[in-house]
């Protein structure tokens, strides 16, 4: 679209220039509306991802804390030479799995 400031020196009738300007205003209004919708969508997604990341960080901290407790129990039980003394069956399996992962990694 040509610059409307240059129209005053053309032979385009004033009524036509107004129609062209109105069309351009409407086109820009639609573009602005679409841009606002996209920005709002991005903002919503951004906040949702932030909440999801925070939840994952919390879960990771809880898992690390549990792993540290299990490792401490396992170390104590190994020093006492009695795994059944402190650990349940599930905890023994978890410790063995963690040790196996550590050996592989």
Average pLDDT of 44-68?
A: 89
4 within a domain of the structure (yes/no): no
Domain count, the chain: 1
- Return the residue matching tokens 């400031």: 5
What's the domain range around 22? 10-104
Which has more confidence, 61 or 103? Answer: 61
Report the pLDDT value the prediction gives residue 10, as an integer from 0 to 100. Answer: 67
Query: Taking the model in full, what pTM does it have?
Result: 0.43
**What does each C-alpha distance from 28 to 14, 22, 31, 39, 47 come to in angstroms?**
21, 10, 5, 16, 29
Give the model confidence (pLDDT) of 16-49 as tens digits: 889 999 999 999 999 999 999 999 999 988 888 8
Give the model confidence (pLDDT) of 80-89 as tens digits: 776 555 566 6
3 within a domain of the structure (yes/no): no
Residues 6+ apart with CB under 8 A from 32: none
**What does each C-alpha distance from 66 to 72, 75, 82, 95 come to in angstroms?**
10, 14, 20, 11
């Amino acid at each position: 679209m040509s610059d409307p400031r240059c129209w005053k020196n053309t032979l385009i009738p004033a009524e036509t220039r107004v129609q062209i300007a109105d069309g351009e205003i409407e086109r820009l209004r639609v573009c602005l509306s679409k841009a606002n919708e996209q920005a709002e969508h991005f903002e919503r997604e951004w906040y949702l991802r932030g909440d999801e990341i925070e939840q994952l960080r919390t879960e990771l901290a809880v898992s690390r804390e549990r792993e540290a407790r299990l490792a401490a129990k396992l170390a104590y039980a190994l020093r006492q030479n009695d795994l059944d003394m402190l650990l349940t069956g599930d905890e023994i399996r978890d410790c063995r799995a963690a040790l196996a992962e550590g050996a592989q990694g």
